[in-house]
Chains A and B, each alone.
Chain A
């Protein structure tokens, strides 16, 4: 029973444009959300997070938006760069943070 869903397995964007990756969740007890980035042959690397008391968190080119009423979050990358090409995982947890529930990932390709 997948509680975190990333419905787009892949996304292709031109360099310099905005990449928008989407994530939906079903468990209303989740209150901490994270995005991880994964290159081939490497483990997931933490990218950015947001707690449920906020609706936006920004870090450089990366912004995460949270819509609690819709149980939806999104990651915006502006401007996209070829080095951003990777698999992006959305994850969510309850208040303690121990058990991360991951989505299946979205493979982003940024073309020159």
Chain B
């Protein structure tokens, strides 16, 4: 019973060709996150949604956008992928506890994106 699902698991795209990665969750969590992990690097938070409120990290390039049409789904759009965007993209979810703090983040299996 998968809880955080990412599609596709592997994606190859051409330099400059827009690509969309998908994440869905069955946990009914308020918060959904997108992380980028390059080879041998730490996962790096790109942005997160708290319900419909979008929170962008200061150093996330404008090339990366996100949409959350409902509680269950969140999309990562890369408008014009560059070679440096080749990475694993991880989606995570968490619920918000009393007092506004968030609980443990649960991760999906990731989408490995290759930009040629």
Residues of A within 8 A of B (CB): 2, 4, 9, 34, 36, 41-46, 49, 89, 95-105
B41 at the interface (CB under 8 A from A): yes
Asked whether B31 lies within 8 Å of A98 as measured between CB atoms, the reply is: yes
Given contacts A96-B102, A97-B94, contact A102 B42 (CB under 8 A): yes
Asked whether A46 lies within 8 Å of B42 as measured between CB atoms, the reply is: no
Name the B residues within 8 Å of A2 (CB-CB).
42
| Secondary structure dominating the interface of A | loop
B70 at the interface (CB under 8 A from A): no
**Which size class do B's interface residues fall under?**
20 to 34
Given contacts A42-B109, A44-B90, contact A104 B41 (CB under 8 A): yes
Name the A residues within 8 Å of B40 (CB-CB).
9, 104
Asked whether B101 lies within 8 Å of A4 as measured between CB atoms, the reply is: no
B107 at the interface (CB under 8 A from A): yes
Asked whether A44 lies within 8 Å of B107 as measured between CB atoms, the reply is: yes
Name the B residues within 8 Å of A44 (CB-CB).
43, 90, 107
Asked whether B106 lies within 8 Å of A46 as measured between CB atoms, the reply is: yes
B81 at the interface (CB under 8 A from A): no
Asked whether A49 lies within 8 Å of B104 as measured between CB atoms, the reply is: yes
A and B contact pairs by CB, cutoff 8 A, 15 listed: A4-B42, A42-B110, A43-B6, A43-B92, A46-B104, A46-B106, A89-B42, A89-B43, A96-B101, A97-B94, A98-B102, A99-B48, A99-B57, A100-B105, A101-B45
Q: Choose among A34, A49, A99 the residue with the greatest number of B CB atoms under 10 Å from its CB.
A: A99
Name the A residues within 8 Å of B101 (CB-CB).
95-97
Name the B residues within 8 Å of A102 (CB-CB).
42-44
B61 at the interface (CB under 8 A from A): no
The 6 residue pairs across chains A and B that have the minimum distance between CB atoms: A43-B107, A102-B42, A97-B102, A102-B43, A43-B109, A44-B107
Give complex CA distance A98, B40 in Å.
23
B55 at the interface (CB under 8 A from A): yes
Give complex CA distance A97, B57 in Å.
14
Asked whether B42 lies within 8 Å of A99 as measured between CB atoms, the reply is: no
Q: Which of A9, A45, A96, A105 is close to B100, meaning CB atoms less than 8 Å apart?
A: A96
Asked whether B42 lies within 8 Å of A34 as measured between CB atoms, the reply is: no
